[in-house]
Structure 1
Amino acid sequence: MQSFHFVIANVFAETHFGGNQLAVFTDARGLSDQAMQSIAKQMNLSETTFVLPARDKRNAANVRIFTPQAELPFAGHPTVGTAAVLCQRGLGEGRFVLEEAIGDVEVDVELRGDRIAARFRIDRPIESPDTTPANALMADLLTLDEADIDAAWFASAGVPICIVQLGGREAVDRAVLDRNAWNAKRKDLWSPNILLFSGKPAAERLYARMFAPALGVDEDPATGAAAAALVGSLAKRVASGHVASGDGKLAITIDQGVKMGRPSVIEASAEMRAGQPSNMEVGGLTVILGEGSLAVPSD
């Protein structure tokens, strides 16, 4: 048996027991891919991260990210939370780079009392297919009326997301993912991961929920990768004083996890350059809850 140290943190948390839970294994050397996946399934959180030595000595660490069912090339709340844990364990405040499967991710970290603020930055094009999901289909999947759906589209800033804009907060709370209908249609969707939100991006806080059963997460309390895809795609869609037709910046605040009793607050922004979104930033506060060790059989 080998013993591996882990830290439990709540990410995007404004309260001690809010936000999205994360387990960070601070030294994953010696763990196989299969062992990492088994540990993530055992922890049964939205994501579990495994910290390894950086391939480039200029970077802080190499980080692998697993849901209970699959490894992800990138995810927002694990990036923010892992950076906060590394800060707390001696890396300190400032800007550093985490190596993830998607590539290098730059993170800014700052101590704020008993909480740690972290914000990651990705500068890559928002990926979107030519097709969009039909409003009627999304209404069926979410057990809503078609009139509740204002718009729906696909976008990815590293993890593909189906984004659905609803007419109000009440509709967001009323949504229930029809698993039978979702299972029947998921292979036809560019992404089966569904982020639904309400609110006017240039004028008010957005209210969101996230369903990702394909990743082993029925509902996610806070989703940084989805926030990056949302702010980047909204920056391109929104015509307002905040986002000009050419250059500008859109900054949004997202309340997520409220319906499931895990209130989370995500800050996100995107710049517009020559009509294209770039330099997406997503961040929030992390609360470190505790630590422990897990015994893992040797391979």
Structure 2
Amino acid sequence: MRLAYHLLDVFTETPLAGNPLAVVPEADGLDFSQMQAIAREFNLSETVFVLTPRDPLHTARLRIFTPTQELPFAGHPTIGAACLIALLRAPDMIGARPLGLALEEEIGPVACEVSCYKGSIRARFVAPQTPRILRDLTDKGKIAAALGLPVEDLGFDAHEPVVASAGLAFAFIPVAGRAALNRLAPKFANFGEVFGLERPACCVYSRETSDPAHHVQARVFVPGLGGNEDPATGSAACAFAAVACAFERPEDGEHTIVIEQGLAVGRPSLIALTMQVSGRQLVEASVGGACVRVGEGFLTI
């Protein structure tokens, strides 16, 4: 079997930055074990397989794999796959106006749109579940120890550690500034016990950013995911909408937060999180970013 694949960098306009992704655009002939083996072969944080949708009104069906497991939903694979599908199937339509896609993921249908801005292809998707805080994390001593920080580095303003989700759960830990982010020395063996998550995943964030035009700088750790630190995490950005609304209490209307990520691993990324607030409640969150193709080829299996 000969299969085409494409390599993309997501949440960046610059090749070899952002979060790398492999996409296999015609994967209908593959079974679960073959997809998992191919994802293990690429050994990226995620590999996406594009299949015929179950519902003919939808654009495509996606299956998303890490090197070790299938995920029901993930952010940078959704952005990258949406951009690639638009480039392959409707390249002449992207610049005229935003191109709508409906992508079936294991979590359910995900609404996306793809556009072109100043020569850069971008995609945006609506969170498949309304982001919500699941619970507080109250043992700051254990949290600080798991991150290799002193307790006094935790928190800023009203922000406190919580677990939140928009389809995938993350622990969100606020820290005082970029200096604390740079000092992080995670003890991954402790993550499961401290954060109480089946898939231990932690987003450590600060209001202090490298660029004053941005709003948040974050580092996201998912033990066992390649190098353990993710360069850009759209699913965490979705869930962060619940955190931002809980602690910032934004007024009704539309609000956009630009998140810096990936600087510590040499793959700078920018994630745009847009929140719709009504009655001081979060009613919708969407995540967007740029994408660039960096390679293509064929697998022979």
TM over 0.5: yes
Q: 1:106 to 1:47 in 2, by over 3 A?
A: same
Matched, 1:207 2:217: yes
Q: 1:254 to 1:3 in 2, by over 3 A?
A: same
Cα drift, residue 200 of structure 1: 6.7
Equivalent residues in 2 for 1:139-288 (5 A)? 139-150=144-155, 151-182=160-191, 185=193, 188-189=196-197, 192-199=200-207, 204-216=214-226, 218-239=228-249, 243-244=250-251, 247-288=252-293
Matched, 1:49 2:48: yes
Local SS of the residue matching 1:58: coil
Cα drift, residue 290 of structure 1: 1.4
In 1, Cα distance between equivalents of 2:114 and 2:232: 19
Cα drift, residue 96 of structure 1: 1.2
Equivalent residues in 2 for 1:53-132 (5 A)? 53-92=52-91, 93=94, 94-112=99-117, 114-122=119-127, 124-132=129-137
Cα drift, residue 292 of structure 1: 0.6
Cα drift, residue 124 of structure 1: 3.0
Local SS of the residue matching 2:258: strand
Local SS of the residue matching 2:161: strand
Cα drift, residue 17 of structure 1: 1.6
In 1, Cα distance between equivalents of 2:54 and 2:198: 32
Q: Which stretch of structure 1 is more off in the superposition, 126-135 or 282-291?
A: 126-135
In 2, Cα distance between equivalents of 1:131 and 1:205: 23
Normalising by structure 1, report the TM-score. Answer: 0.90
RMSD: 2.1
Cα deviation 1:202-234 (Å, max 9, x = unaligned): 985211111001545501000000001012321
Cα drift, residue 176 of structure 1: 1.6
In 2, Cα distance between equivalents of 1:27 and 1:186: 41
* Structure 1, unpaired ranges of 5+: none
Cα drift, residue 269 of structure 1: 1.2
Matched, 1:289 2:294: yes
Letter in 1 for 2:235: A
Cα deviation 1:95-133 (Å, max 9, x = unaligned): 111111111111110123553111111263323333425
2:27 aligns with 28
Q: Which stretch of structure 1 is more off in the superposition, 123-132 or 258-267?
A: 123-132
C-alpha contact (below 8 Å) 1:155/1:230 kept by paired residues: yes
Cα drift, residue 189 of structure 1: 3.9
Equivalent residues in 2 for 1:129-140 (5 A)? 129-140=134-145
Cα drift, residue 170 of structure 1: 1.1
C-alpha contact (below 8 Å) 1:232/1:278 kept by paired residues: no
In 2, Cα distance between equivalents of 1:263 and 1:200: 16
Cα deviation 1:64-85 (Å, max 9, x = unaligned): 1111111111111000000111
In 1, Cα distance between equivalents of 2:138 and 2:219: 18
Identical positions, percent: 36
C-alpha contact (below 8 Å) 1:107/1:119 kept by paired residues: yes
Local SS of the residue matching 1:129: strand
Q: 1:130 to 1:163 in 2, by over 3 A?
A: closer
In 2, Cα distance between equivalents of 1:195 and 1:266: 14
Normalising by structure 2, report the TM-score. Answer: 0.90
